[in-house]
């Protein structure tokens, strides 16, 4: 079955994770979602975000990864584009053994 994998790049302090997961689980009902929390990273600004014992507030990079059928992914990405910064969503085709 032809599927699409999608990865959404967000920052922990932006408080986007909960609304994204709520939408993907409750409304879009995608087939599978995984959230990764980075230990270090930087974006276009070049500002490094790193976890250390000195940091009191964490603003680490996070990725939300999910997959579903090609036709469903188009609508899901359009919805996510309404509240995720442009250029922070990537997708690519994948094959699964689902029938």
pLDDT number for residue 88 = 94
Read off the DSSP letter of residue 14.
G
Q: Are 28 and 57 in contact (CB under 8 A)?
A: no
Fold topology of 2-95: Alpha-Beta Plaits (3.30.70)
pLDDT in tens, 19-56: 999 999 999 999 889 999 877 777 677 776 676 655 55
Q: Using the structure block, give the residue that is written with the tokens 């029938």.
A: 99
Q: Are 61 and 14 in contact (CB under 8 A)?
A: no
Residue 2 — very low, low, confident or very high, per pLDDT cuts 50/70/90? confident
Q: Where are the domains of the chain?
A: 2-95
CA distances from 33 to 6, 8, 22 (A): 10, 11, 11
pLDDT number for residue 37 = 86
Read off the DSSP letter of residue 46.
-
pTM of the model: 0.82
pLDDT number for residue 99 = 60
């Amino acid at each position: 079955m032809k599927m699409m994998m999608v990865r959404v790049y967000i920052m922990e302090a932006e408080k986007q994770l909960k609304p994204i997961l709520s939408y993907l689980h409750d409304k879009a009902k995608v087939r599978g979602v995984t959230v990764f929390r980075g230990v270090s990273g930087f974006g276009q600004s070049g500002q490094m975000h790193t976890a250390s014992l000195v940091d009191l507030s964490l603003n680490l990079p996070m990725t939300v990864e999910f997959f579903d059928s090609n036709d469903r992914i188009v609508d899901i990405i359009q919805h996510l584009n309404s509240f995720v910064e442009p250029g922070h969503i990537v997708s690519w085709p994948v094959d699964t053994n689902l029938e």
